[in-house]
Structures are given as C-alpha cells and as structure tokens.
Amino acid sequence: MKKQTSSHKKGYGHKKEEVVNALRTRILSNEYEPGSRLPTVDELVEEFAFSRTTMQQAIRQLTREGFIQTIDRKGVYVTDRPPHLHRIGVVFGCGQDSHSWTKFYTAFRDELSKIIEPDRHYEFICYYEVNPDLPDSDYKTLRKDIASHSLAGLIIHRTAWDAREELCTLTAAADIPTALVNYNLKEAPGATVIRTDGHKFVDKSMDWFKERGRSRVAVVTMYTVPQINVQAVLNRGLSVRPHWLQAVGYDGINNLDRLIHLLLDYPTEERPDALLIANDHLTDIVLKSIGECGLIIGRDIDVIAHCNWPQTTQSPLPIRRLGFSAMDFIHQCLIAIEKPHKGSHEILIPALFESEVPGMTPTPSPSMKRQYLHAVGESEAFLV
C-alpha cells in the first residue's frame, strides 16, 4: 500500500479515526474480503505515518465493532461475518417492561433466534427505548452503529415513532436498507413498510361468524387499533350496534370486566352472539368475564381472539384464534433488506387461523360444528 500523507485533523478529527475510517472503507468496499488478512501493525505505521499506539487503538475499535479479529501469532483478519453483511438491527421504541410493549414484540423478538439463513448467517441485535428524548436509551448506540456502517439492515417497529424519520435519513445516507413494521405509506413516504392485513382479519372473522350461524357481532379492542369497518359486518348480513364496538386504553383494562358484563347483560335476542377480541392483551379478561355472565362459548356465543403466532396461550374454551405470524414479518423484513425497493413499497401480512399456520397443530373442539379454512388474500392493514 502506498504511503499516505496524513494531517493531524482528518475524518473525526483524530488520528485513530482516520485509520479506522480508512480500514473500514476497505472492508466495506471488499478490498479486504471476509477472512482476509490485514497489513501488519508495522506496515500500517509506515503507510499512515502514525505511532504503533494509534494503530493498536484503531484495531481495538474495529474489533469492538465486529469488523476484524486478532488471531494469535497469525495477525489481524477481517471476520468471516463482518457486521455490514450479517448484522441486522431491530428497533423498539419502548422497553420490555413498558406498558407499550406488546405480545407481538415478544413474538417477534423470540422468533429471531429461529431464523436459519445458510447463505447469510444473520446476527440480530435489538435496540430498546430508541427515542431522542431518552438519554439512557439505546438511541445513541444505534446512531453510532449506523455511522460506522456496522449494520446490514435495520428493522424499525412502530413504537420508535419519534425516531423513525431521523433513523431513515441516517440509514439512507449510510446506504443501509431499512424496513418499517406496522407503519403506513403516508407515515413513511419512500420507505418499505410491512404491515398486517387488517381488512382480511375482519373479513375472515365475519365469514366464520356467518358460517356458524351467528347474526349479532360485537368487537372489543384497544384504542390504539383502528376501528373495525362496520360495512364488512353489514355486507354479510350481520348486525352490529354502535355500543357493541368497544375500544379501551391501557388505563381502562382494569375496568374491562365491567364493560363485558354491560355488553352481555341483555336478553338472548338483544345481546351479541358473536364476539371478536381484536387485541390479544384483552383475551384472558374477556373470556373470564363471559364465563361470569353465565354464557357458554360455542353455544350462547362464538369468540374469535386475535393472537400473534406462535406466541399464544392455549385455552380450554372453544374459541378460535386468528392472528399474524411473527415469522412472516421477519421473513418479509429480510427480503426487503436483501432486495431493497426504490421508492414506496408495501407488504401485507395475512391473517391466519391456527390450521393455516405451518407447524401449528389445531386442537378441534367438540362444540364446533366443523373446521373452516379460508383463502389468504391482500387488502389494507390492521395495526396490532
């Protein structure tokens, strides 16, 4: 390598950073390929005209970032899986103990360990509480990793709303492909978004209720979820009343049992005989409350409960689970990162019954007349 003429202030204004940037650029450009040997410290000293101490500091930084490794008595080598090719960042805007942390996030995080990509061998790193206004969050670490090109791609979840615009700007400048989960195109113009197919979720629910012979539909959900399209109910000859559509906030969950009692405390022909629980945080409370009302699920009322496959708790009650696969989300995010689109692009994740989820064995209930299987299509999205 030809000897360079170096100034005292270059790059980040520090000799070490000049060396780090130069060596990292060679790795990113594949001049130094994965597994290849770097020049010796003496050779780097001669090239950059800096001290051995400076070179050793640069080597330590690139080692921390995951680009290189020192092999005893052999020298310094580019790692077999450098981060710009193998490390995927996953961004959550809240911590795991926050009320904003959902079962979907748990399912998504847990499924990451099951990803097997023989050609890429991905490593996933999660960033929590990514928010510019939270000084002790992972926000600064993430910004640093983007600046150092230490990521092959970035997945941004909806709770990182306050940071999404800046993160997208930073990743675009660093040429790091990015996928946004459960945003819509108006919120993230020019980006690739992967989101739930909300219309299909509702359509499949109403089709099943109708096939079961039900006629009066109620819906219970969280206020953060878009309200159900009433027309989808009416188009199937089902009836719904305004007070049968209930949305609660986090503070209202403690009173959810009372709400269910009020909803069902009517004579048979005046109360719902079909109930859609559109958020899995509410399922246990709602099912308990139905029992307290003296109603038998499968006879007096049919219930479909939202879930995030495969994270779901089994229930002895004959309810149907309908939800979205966390693995489907992950696979679509990886496709978006491996083959990025130019401009806006939207991918919808289909709603699936248990019998439609690969690897899941549905448990048929004797109170159900039959199992139903619906075709999967695409429509607009449903945020969970």
Using the 3D structure, point to which of 78, 113, 133 is the last residue of a domain. Answer: 78
CA-angle at 150, arms to 144 and 154, nearest 5°: 90
> Does residue 370 lie within any of the structural domains?
no
Strand partners, 252: none
Strand partners, 307: 323
Contacting residues for 251 by C-beta, under 8 A, at least 6 apart: none
Report the distance separating Cα 128 and Cα 153, nearest Å. Answer: 16
Task: Let me know if residue 372 belongs to a domain.
Answer: no
Domain shared by 156 and 47, yes or no: no
Whether residue 378 is contained in a domain is answered as no
Tokens at 72, concatenated: 């005893």
Task: Name the domain count of the chain.
Answer: 3
Per-residue pLDDT of the chain in tens (384 residues, 90 and over written 9): 555 554 445 543 479 999 999 999 999 999 999 999 999 999 999 999 999 999 999 999 999 999 999 998 899 999 999 999 999 999 999 999 998 999 999 999 999 999 876 667 899 999 999 999 887 789 999 999 999 999 999 999 999 999 999 999 999 999 999 999 999 898 888 899 999 999 999 999 999 999 999 999 999 999 866 567 899 999 999 999 999 999 998 888 989 999 999 999 999 999 999 999 999 999 999 999 999 999 999 999 999 999 999 988 778 899 999 999 999 999 999 999 999 998 899 999 999 999 999 877 555 443 333 332 222 233 344 444
Output the pTM of the full model. Answer: 0.87
Own/partner pairs for 93-98, CB < 8 Å, 24+ apart? 93/129, 93/130, 93/131, 93/157, 93/158, 93/159, 93/160, 93/161, 93/162, 93/163, 94/128, 94/129, 94/159, 95/128, 95/129, 96/128, 98/129
Shared domain check, 303 and 240: yes
Alpha-carbon distance of 301 to 384, in angstroms, equals 24
Residues 87 and 58 in one domain: no
The answer to whether position 263 is within a domain reads yes
Q: Which pLDDT score is estimated for 72?
A: 87
CATH of the domain at 66: 1.10.10.10
Q: Are 289 and 273 in contact (CB under 8 A)?
A: no
Q: Are residues 98 and 22 in the same domain?
A: no
Looking at the structure, do residues 89 and 58 belong to the same domain, yes or no? no
Strand partners, 302: 274
DSSP 3-state assignment of 76? strand
Amino acid (one-letter) located at 37: R
Chosen domain end from 27, 57, 78: 78
Tell me the torsion sign for CA atoms 32, 38, 43, 44.
positive
Contacts (Cβ under 8 Å, ≥6 apart) of 36: 77, 78
| Same domain for 202 and 319 | yes
Within a domain: 235: yes
Same domain, 268 and 319: yes
> Is residue 292 domain-shared with residue 265, that is, in the same domain?
yes
b/e code 118-149 from CB counts within 10 Å (16+ = b): eebebebbbbbbbbeebeebbbeebbebbebb
Residue 221 shares a structural domain with residue 311? yes
Which CB contacts under 8 angstroms, 24+ apart, belong to 286-295?
A: 286/220, 286/256, 286/260, 287/315, 287/317, 287/319, 288/257, 289/256, 289/257, 289/260, 289/261, 289/264, 290/260, 290/264, 292/257, 292/261, 293/260, 293/261, 293/264, 293/265, 295/264
CATH of the domain at 203: 3.40.50.2300
Q: Are 49 and 114 contained in the same domain? A: no
**Residue 354: both structure tokens together:** 């248990």
Helices marked H in 265-343 — which ranges? 283-292, 326-338
Q: What is the pLDDT of residue 382?
A: 43
pLDDT at 14: 78
Residue with tokens 């064995």: 361
Enclosing domain of residue 226: 198-324+350-356
Same domain (yes/no): 302, 209: yes
Q: Are residues 224 and 317 in the same domain?
A: yes
Nearest to 23 by CA among 50, 8, 71, 142: 50
Q: CB of 381 within 8 A of CB of 196?
A: yes
Q: What are phi and psi for residue 29, nearest 5 degrees? A: -85, 0
* Extended beta strands in 210-349, E state: 217-222, 245-248, 274-277, 302-309, 320-325, 345-349
User: Which uninterrupted H or E stretch holds 195?
Assistant: strand 192-196
Per-residue pLDDT at 119:
67
In a domain, 96, yes or no: yes
Amino acid 116: pLDDT = 76
Rounded CA-CA distance 63/60 in Å is: 5
- For residue 310, whether the previous peptide bond is cis, meaning omega lies within 30 degrees of 0, is yes
Q: What is the pLDDT of residue 189?
A: 87
CA dist., res. 286 & res. 227, Å (int)? 18
What ranges make up the beta strands (E) of 339-379?
345-349, 352-353
Residue 53 lies in a domain: yes
In a domain, 141, yes or no: yes
Token pair of 313, please? 């708790």
Predicted pLDDT at 361 = 59
